[in-house]
Amino acid sequence: MNSIPVIIFLGAPGAGKGTQAAYLSKLKSIPKISTGDMLRSAVQEDSPLGRKVQEIMKGGGLVDDQTMLNLILERIKKPDCKGGFILDGYPRNLKQAAQLEEMLPKDMRLIVINIQVSEEEVVKRIAGRRSCPKCGSVYNIYFHPPKDDEKCDLDGTPLVRRADDSEDVVRKRISTYKKETLPLIDFYKKKGVLTAINGIHQENVVADKIEEVMN
């Protein structure tokens, strides 16, 4: 039976993949696996992985495919992934997509959601993006500000800006996205598993559309 959902979020940096993946994770009670978050934690912990990837991330490039494969393999082996999972930030190029296919359970249903947002919009969004280093909640000081200055609504921790959210690095991340990740849209379209969602609307509107797709 093709019943275990594996949901992949595609979209430019700042398109809202992480936000929507978090919504869907709660809704479906399946884990969200965000490679960006995993790598940022490794950097914060100053682990060997963190030290290896820090400079690459700061420059807006991609971490090598083998490192990413090991990271994902280890994560999806965990028992909480048995009933399905959501991928945010993986795969990010054709090689990773091929490697993912090899490791996915055979009895799964693949759903790929491409969140479409213009380049101009993503640059604006990222300029205002702040996150809570403690609980991971994401805010935007222009569009979705925290109630109290730059502190997390949930736990009061001062919000931080991601090290790779400066304008020049954002431009580099967008160019990496266009070169490496955009080809995945065709790849999954050909497989008949791709759904495009307009990501320009408010978060809850986008979330409703994704829920429709899932049903």
Please give the Cα distance from 35 to 52 (Å, whole number): 15
Q: Which amino acid is it at 189?
A: K
Q: Build a one-symbol-per-residue string for 66-105: x at contacts with ligand ADP by CB under 6 A, - elsewhere.
A: --x--------------------xx-x---x---------
* Token pair 């978060």: residue: 203
Closest CA to 203 of 22, 34, 31, 29: 22
Residue of 32, 40, 92, 125 marked active site: 92
Instruction: Give the x/- contact pattern for ligand ADP in 9-48, rule: CB under 6 A.
Output: ----x---------------------xx--x---------
Backbone angles phi, psi at 7, to 5 degrees: -110, 125
Annotation marks residue 92 as catalytic:
yes
**Could you tell me the two tokens for 114?**
């491409």
The helix/strand/coil state of 93 is coil
Nearer to ligand ADP, 163 or 205 (CB): 163
- Determine, following the binding rule CB under 6 A, whether residue 56 of this chain makes contact with ligand ADP: yes
C-beta closer to ligand ADP: residue 92 or 209: 92
Per rule CB under 6 A, is residue 60 in the interface with ligand ADP? yes
Candidates 2, 190, 203, 188; CA nearest to 101 is 188
Beta-ladder partners of 111: 7
Catalytic: 109?
no
Residues that bind ligand ADP (CB under 6 A): 13, 35-36, 39, 56-57, 60-63, 68, 89-90, 92, 96, 164, 173
Q: Which positions are annotated as active-site residues?
A: 17, 92, 129, 162, 173
